[in-house]
Structure 1
Amino acid sequence: MTKKPGKTARWRAVWQLIKPYWRSEEKWKAWSMLAAIIILSLGSVYLSVQFNEWNRVFYDALQNKNFPVFKQQLFKFTWLALIFIVVSIYKVYLTQGLQMNWRRWMTNEYMDKWLTNHAYYYTEHQHQVDNPDQRIASDLSALTSGTLSLSLGLLSSLVTLFSFVTILWSVSGPISFMLGSHAITIPGYMLWFALLYALVGSVIIGFIGRPLVKLSFNQEWFEANFRFGLIRIRENSDAIALYHGEKSEKKQLADNFEAIRSNWWSSMRTTRRLNFASSFYGQFAIIFPILVAAPRYFSGAIQMGLLMQISSAFGQVQDSLSWFINAFNDLASWKACVNRLAGFNAAIDQVNTQPRNILLGDAKDDDLQLNNLTVTLPNGNPLFSSVSASLATGARVLVAGPSGCGKSTLLRAIAGVWPYGTGEINTAANKKQLFLPQRSYIPIGSLREALTYPEESSLEYTDERLCEVLEWCNLSYLQPVLDHYSNWSQRLSPGEQQRLAFARAMLIKPEILYLDEATSALDDETEQRMYSLLLEKLPQTTVLSVAHRNSVAKYHEQCWRFQLQDDGQCSLMRSRLHEDTLPA
């Protein structure tokens, strides 16, 4: 797997993640939905103020045994409750809708960034980011839901605080006591008690729960590694079974899960301390305002209705001031998610903005032109240097040489996915090109979609045409299952997958075809048939193929052979094949 990312995202990076959607082509719809949600949130606060006033009148009616007022307040409570239910339901409904719209937009943006300029390829090979699938599938959802939930919760808390501060100040009255020989009077003393209570609680909770951000970050990373190990076993089940590698795989999975378990227990211990402190804080807050206001009630200065109103207002103020405490777990998870996305975003931006030393351009006369091309490994060690060659239209060139000399890397550079090196590569931009790698890629889906990949639509080809190319490539037994949905890379053998790749070439009819050990899993007879098909069915196609076997030489006109030099680099020798023989 990849190395563990570490840096915490700065708040500027957080803003860079959040702001694009609110400035996008959907900004008017987004801001309209957000405005509606804010209005409903303000409505909820207004209704809470009305409930606070209702508390005073209702409990005074109970204490005074005033039955007409009691009935009137029951009716008032009924319509207040109904309005509150409607407001709460639609606030949640609109919030969920806005969350999905935001997530959909961000998912499309990040998929586009990840798949543009081969960023998915570079970040994987350069180990710049771990588990990009989790970033897009999980973390974007957590970012949108967490940002809306936390920001709207903070807004509601601030509005509630400002609404009830005045109420609490006015109804709590002053408290007087003697400090030595001095008489001290504190106006609105319940408000000061609420502020002090929330301040002390926030400091304690913040100190106890601070490690949760890192622990949440690590937990997601360890979980993703474990899932990746399980997926790897599924993808390579055949090879693992042949190696009898179950014990080794089990040990790796056990080690990965041990990291999950260890981090989980650390998180549990921190959460236990946090829950103990927050539970004590929350439970004591229920009785605390009654205890503080009780002396004025028992002295007859206030009635039960006002006592209940003070308790309710204190609870609202204290709850608003305790937003940080109540949301700490969500904040820790959200911040860990932001850190992961910020690292992912920075890695993709770095790939998309990094300079390309191998310049890609359009060929004028030939289908391929290499000008003073040097290709290196990521660490800078050269594979070959100062290669200049051209591939004429309709030419068939075989690339040969010892293993590790850079033959496959040359094809990656031509495809534009290998940035390490210098020089210039020009290709015929207006011609259809197709690469057939040694390990063919087959998407999960119907066989029809697998056969026509990478075409966007499989409907352009008739069933008769698809069956025809399957028969050419000795895959006629697959004709009845064209529309069967399956993971074909698991159902087909390596040889069948390579023949399916040749069937794609016959179907798509590229004008330039690149083959990288595309017949390595085939027997000699089948390999001969596949190359014969190229000559027969694609006679005008330009072909550049990498191969080791002598038997395919007769299907090519020229040979580009890499030869190892004394300095460890390779040089390219070009010759006609009737003047050249391949090494055994």
Structure 2
Amino acid sequence: MSLKQKLQNAAHVTRQAIGLARPYFVSEEKGKAWGLLIAIIALNLGTVYMLVQLNEWNRVFYDALENKQADVFWQQLWKFCWLAAIYIVIAVYKFYLTQLLQLNWRSWLTRCMLSRWLAAKAFYRLELARFGGGNVPDNPDQRIQEDLNLFTTYTVLLSMGLLNALVTFVSFVGILWGLSGVMEVAAPQVLGGGTWQVSGFMVWMAVLYCLVGTAITFLVGAPQVLLNNRQQQFEANFRHYMIRVREHAEAIALDSGERVEGERLNLRFSDVLGNYLALIRKQKSLIWFTTFFGQAAVVFPFIIAAPRFFSGAIQLGQLMQISSAFGQVSDSLSWIVNNYQDIAAWRATTQRLAGFDESLKLQSEHARDGAELTMGNHVETASLEVDLPQGEVILANAALRVQPGDHVLISGPSGSGKSTLMRVFAGIWPFAKGCVERPQDAMFIPQRPYFPEGTLRDALAYPEPASQYSDAQFLAALNNARLPKLQTRLDESNVWNAVLSGGEQQRLAIARVLLKRPAWVFADEATSAMDNPTEAHVYRQLVQLVDEKHGGLVSIAHRDSVHAFHNRRWTLEPERQRIEATSIGGCAAL
């Protein structure tokens, strides 16, 4: 990669970082954010000021030692005590306020990202796009939980470190220039020979020393950016697969799939270890150089200034002051060398987070993708086209209608798009065109319901607060869903998706519907794990509910036993991209 491309990439990453950072500093918390930032900057300036004072102290103290001035020696020791005390106070509060800024920033940014991820069902759309082969960020949980933490931490530390380096350089370069005096340097013969009078010689040596070190650091450490990015991805993939094993623990145990899952986990962990090994090898090469560079910087100023000391041109105090000032200037100029590993990690994190941020923006822009959904008093579609994420059309130009009092059964071969049509009615399927009207007072029951961890009453009322319903309503809903054993466990906290059987989970989802009593119910194989008598009972409950509320029922089921609870039937024919509707009066293609 050419130097121009590297500079362009660095500028692009910087713009990405500014784009991620700017919202917080113009948000409702901008007063607190800028207050902390200004305080940290002031403390950084205070730190540099104290270093300048200590540099001057070096000269006086070592001159006193050389001249055996005991009174000045003890005076300077006391001066060092209060200089050190002030420096310690500044260092402690700089650390505390820096951590506080990171915490506040991470808190705000995490809440913001969570809100955007959950808004307009972006979390669902991102998963659909990923399974559809789209180029979307992986592991959003890691982006929000880990990458945000790393981004705020590295951004504050590196930006304050860079500021400190700049201020240190400005503060000490004048001191070092004045201490350097004028050095006579032999000129090359090709330039006429003789000697040159070089002012600020130590400054030029520091600049040359650090330029060479920075160039070598870039050459040695360049691969770390890509390796850091891959490491975060491999770590997230490994963690994600372990979560999948935990979520499907029972099915894996029943299939005795431990060996296969172990092999797959080890394969993903091998990716983690392999990439990390490559990363630490690159880090080892960089540490070889940076350690040598740092140690050489200790003696380098003494080597350059020694002739003047031994000639008597400067005293020991000035030599130590030159060494201290040279160290500060070279450290400030070597900021990239000293922080390259952190910069590489920050760059990888920024790129991953910026990609996630861009995907959320894209999802926000396409939030209205899908069929146009309006609310009415019945279900009706016009010119409806339903596609799969890969682009395959399963339904074209469909005109469907469900009136209050209708009980519609959707059937068809597995994979024909029955659940997809239900998602279109819900308004969450982005790969659809046309118009859909459905009632506002409706609930959808998935085949695999979700219950949040917490009390049973919270799981039943989800996503509404449990306080909206009385104990009598909870008990009646559980009893009508044939879950009387759970009536005494309303205030028990548990992981209900794990402790209840599949049939119990489906009955609990039915109880949720019976508790909230919507006029319209859309059920997607909501009784597939129940026995026939229980299934018949809950269907009678649902039919009675929607009839009392003057609504309708639309359900997907494969069993013939549920046919008796419906008066219309839609059969999907994906190969013909249409639905055949059958009623008592005959059938018609829609």
TM over 0.5: yes
Distance 1:578 1:532 in 2: 24
Deviations 1:110-155 (A, max 9, x none): 1111111211111112111200000000001111111111101000
Aligned to 2:500: 492
Pairwise CA distance, 1:356: 4.5
Q: Secondary structure at the match of 2:468?
A: coil
Pick from 157, 171, 182 the counterpart of residue 174 of structure 1.
182
Q: Aligned ranges for residues 101-500 of structure 1 at < 5 Å? A: 101-127=104-130, 128-179=136-187, 181-354=193-366, 356=368, 358-364=370-376, 366-428=377-439, 431-455=440-464, 457-500=465-508
**Residue identity matched to 1:345:** D
Which stretch of structure 1 is more off in the superposition, 478-487 or 122-131?
A: 478-487
Alpha-carbon spacing, 1:416–1:363, altered in 2? closer, same or farther (3 Å): closer
Distance 2:308 2:491 in 1: 80
Question: Does the 8 Å contact 2:13/2:350 carry over to 1?
Answer: no
Pick from 571, 578, 586 the counterpart of residue 561 of structure 1.
571
Deviations 1:448-469 (A, max 9, x none): 22222121x2222233432332
Question: Does the 8 Å contact 1:217/1:336 carry over to 2?
Answer: yes
**Residue identity matched to 1:123:** L
**Residue identity matched to 2:406:** A
Pairwise CA distance, 1:480: 3.1
Pairwise CA distance, 1:301: 0.9
Distance 1:577 1:487 in 2: 45
Pairwise CA distance, 1:578: 7.7
Pairwise CA distance, 1:14: 2.8
**Residue identity matched to 2:416:** C
Which stretch of structure 1 is more off in the superposition, 396-405 or 378-387?
A: 396-405
Pairwise CA distance, 1:291: 1.5
Deviations 1:396-424 (A, max 9, x none): 22222222222111111111221113211
Deviations 1:68-111 (A, max 9, x none): 22222122111111111111111111111111111111111111
Aligned to 2:517: 509
Pairwise CA distance, 1:367: 2.5
Distance 2:494 2:216 in 1: 55
Deviations 1:186-230 (A, max 9, x none): 111111111111111111111101100100110111111111111
Question: Does the 8 Å contact 2:370/2:431 carry over to 1?
Answer: yes
Pairwise CA distance, 1:394: 4.5
Q: Secondary structure at the match of 1:301?
A: coil
Pick from 52, 71, 76 the counterpart of residue 73 of structure 1.
76
The gaps in structure 2 that reach 5 residues or longer are: 1-8, 131-135
Question: Does the 8 Å contact 2:523/2:555 carry over to 1?
Answer: yes
Pairwise CA distance, 1:259: 0.8
Question: Does the 8 Å contact 2:371/2:384 carry over to 1?
Answer: no
**Residue identity matched to 1:148:** V
Distance 1:80 1:357 in 2: 64
Distance 2:35 2:13 in 1: 29
Alpha-carbon spacing, 1:383–1:370, altered in 2? closer, same or farther (3 Å): same
Q: Secondary structure at the match of 1:29?
A: helix
Distance 1:554 1:178 in 2: 106
Which stretch of structure 1 is more off in the superposition, 380-389 or 271-280?
A: 380-389
Aligned to 1:4: none
Q: Secondary structure at the match of 2:467?
A: coil
- Verify: 1:40 aligned to 2:52, yes or no: no
Deviations 1:483-527 (A, max 9, x none): 333222111111111011001111122232210010011111110
Aligned to 2:531: 523
Deviations 1:290-328 (A, max 9, x none): 121111111111111111111100000000001001110
Distance 1:577 1:357 in 2: 36
**Residue identity matched to 1:308:** M
Distance 2:115 2:199 in 1: 60
Distance 2:441 2:107 in 1: 32
Pairwise CA distance, 1:32: 1.4
Aligned to 2:4: none
Question: Does the 8 Å contact 2:50/2:83 carry over to 1?
Answer: yes
Distance 1:519 1:446 in 2: 24
Distance 1:255 1:482 in 2: 43
Alpha-carbon spacing, 1:471–1:182, altered in 2? closer, same or farther (3 Å): same
Distance 2:202 2:407 in 1: 89
Distance 2:152 2:518 in 1: 43
Question: Does the 8 Å contact 2:229/2:348 carry over to 1?
Answer: yes
**Residue identity matched to 2:581:** R
For normalisation by structure 1, the TM-score amounts to 0.93
Which stretch of structure 1 is more off in the superposition, 212-221 or 344-353?
A: 344-353
Question: Does the 8 Å contact 2:394/2:578 carry over to 1?
Answer: no
Pairwise CA distance, 1:38: 0.6
Distance 2:367 2:494 in 1: 40
Which stretch of structure 1 is more off in the superposition, 412-421 or 145-154?
A: 412-421
Aligned pairs, how many? 567
Pairwise CA distance, 1:10: 4.2
- Verify: 1:12 aligned to 2:15, yes or no: yes
Deviations 1:225-261 (A, max 9, x none): 1111111111001111111111211111111111111
Distance 1:327 1:225 in 2: 28
Pick from 541, 545, 569 the counterpart of residue 555 of structure 2.
545
For normalisation by structure 2, the TM-score amounts to 0.92
Question: Does the 8 Å contact 2:379/2:437 carry over to 1?
Answer: yes
**Residue identity matched to 1:553:** H
Q: Secondary structure at the match of 2:404?
A: coil
Distance 2:338 2:244 in 1: 40
Distance 1:395 1:43 in 2: 77
Question: Does the 8 Å contact 1:358/1:424 carry over to 2?
Answer: no
Which stretch of structure 1 is more off in the superposition, 74-83 or 162-171?
A: 74-83
Q: Percent identity?
A: 44
Deviations 1:359-407 (A, max 9, x none): 323244x332211111011222111111112222343222222222221
- Verify: 1:576 aligned to 2:586, yes or no: no
